[in-house]
Amino acid sequence: MAIVKPFKGLRTPSQEVCEELACLPYDVMNSEEAAQMAAGKPRSLLHVTRAEIDCPAGTDIHSETVYNKSVENFNMFQEKGWLVQDEEAKFYIYAQTMDGRTQYGIVGCAACEDYMNGIIKKHELTRPDKEEDRMILTRYVKANLEPVFFAYKAVPEIDAIVEEIVKSKKADYDFVAEDGFGHHFWAINCPETNKRLEELFATKVPYTYVADGHHRTAAAARIGAEFKSKNPNHNGTEEYNFFMAVHFPDHQLKIIDYNRVVKDLNGLTEEQLLAKLGEHFTVEDMGAEIYHPAKLHEFSMYLGGRWYKLTAKPGSYDDNDPIGVLDVTILSNHVLADILDIQDLRTSKRIDFVGGIRGLGELKRRVDNGEMKVAFALYPVSMEQLINIADTGNIMPPKTTWFEPKLRSGMVIHKI
């Protein structure tokens, strides 16, 4: 069963500070964008998570200078009272609203041991180089600055507790960010409620699932092991054995599409590409208006100023295989690899990926301006598919799932 425990959160004392301090996660922006987002906001946590914005231009973002600046800024935030640690360990509720739909997560500490022994399940591979940067920052600041995004199979008793709190208690923080998404946050101050939630996770939740944040999860687990190895008096209760995650019930989550744009047609003409696609797909010309895939095994393609519906033919997928049934697998095998000769999605420079939050208009734009030659839009993966893949020990192809909205960093921090 999953270990999810309360902790003494480090957080802002007021709504006003929270609105300025809370920021997007470090990995959805580059240094220039981070500097723009933090401009005029001295209390933005980007001064800690992307401290290169406060270093001389050209400073290596992985240099000791940047990590030391993170520590300096993090300490300053606490000295100024922008971040204050709660006196008692507790759970928190973090809710997000997008397009009129709200999802409610429990913020608690997951166990590094659970990640190592498979209680926390993953569906993506991680790259050690991407883990390393967050490991180093965590080592310097001795804190989980940013939460990871977990899912679990919904438990009615947990749902009921959350519903009662959000209906009866005023949120500690409640604001709409600059991107239009709502963020709502409650501290759970009742000791009995906190104890009950911990018991429910320990008895009703056999596994949790990494939805978004595989690299941060792996980095947190590795840091826990590192701190453990350096502590001769280790007893398993130390805070470094745990890391911060927001746990959402699966029935509230919605995965959005993650689409592909390709720079060339591998020497083919548009007519030759359409002919080759006919081997595994029924191809229909949908005209100049944007066309969205309407169901699984249906794709839309933008080529030469026109949209096409591609319907995978029977035999091009395997409904009995958790990976073989995925639309990303169908597209990768029968289009990207076989026709366009893109064999490795992780390393190829001929392909790029566009989160569905940007809309299919972004695919059209990148083809129309000549940057790309063809675009493919996919029907989103379901939570049921994600959990099935994780439960069977399989790994999804790269760039399969896109969760939105992103968790804001700085709503609460866990010191290790």
Cα–Cα–Cα angle for 91, 96, 97, rounded to 5 degrees: 150
| DSSP states of 83-128 | SEE-SS-B-EEEEEEETTEEEEEEEEEEEHHHHHTTSEE--S---H
Neighbours of 128 (CB within 10 A): 11
Residue 356 DSSP class:
G
Task: Return the pLDDT at 208.
Answer: 98
Neighbours of 398 (CB within 10 A): 16
Task: Return the pLDDT at 27.
Answer: 82
Continuous segment of H or E residues that includes residue 158: helix 156-168
- How does 60-96 read in b/e, with b if 16+ C-beta sit within 10 Å? ebeeeebbebbeebbeebeeeebbeebeebbbbbbbb
Task: Return the pLDDT at 134.
Answer: 83
Q: What is the pLDDT of residues 306-361, one digit of tens each?
A: 999 999 999 999 888 888 999 999 999 999 999 999 998 878 999 999 988 889 99
- How does 313-324 read in b/e, with b if 16+ C-beta sit within 10 Å? eeebbeeeebee
Q: In the beta sheet, which residues pair with residue 385? A: none
Task: Return the pLDDT at 133.
Answer: 81
Q: How far apart, in whole angstroms, are the C-alpha atoms of residue 212 and residue 407?
A: 9
Q: Which residue shows structure tokens 């709660």?
A: 86
Q: What is the pLDDT of residues 271-303, one digit of tens each?
A: 999 999 999 999 999 999 999 999 999 999 999
pLDDT in tens, the chain (416 residues): 999 999 999 999 999 999 999 999 988 888 999 999 999 999 999 999 999 999 998 999 999 999 999 999 999 999 999 999 999 999 999 999 998 999 999 999 999 999 999 999 998 877 777 788 889 999 999 999 999 999 999 999 999 999 999 999 999 999 999 989 999 999 999 999 999 999 999 999 999 999 988 888 999 999 999 999 999 999 999 999 999 999 999 999 989 999 999 999 999 999 999 999 999 999 999 999 999 999 999 999 999 999 999 999 999 998 888 889 999 999 999 999 999 999 988 789 999 999 888 899 999 999 999 999 999 999 999 999 999 999 999 988 878 888 888 899 999 999 99
Q: For the whole prediction, is pTM greater than 0.85?
A: yes
Task: Return the pLDDT at 402.
Answer: 85
Structure tokens at 245: 């995650």
Task: Return the pLDDT at 248.
Answer: 98
Task: Return the pLDDT at 43.
Answer: 97
Task: Return the pLDDT at 346.
Answer: 79
Task: Return the pLDDT at 350.
Answer: 96
Which residue, among 62, 27, 65, has the nearest Cα to 46 in the 3D structure? Answer: 27
Structure tokens at 100: 């009129």
Task: Return the pLDDT at 82.
Answer: 98
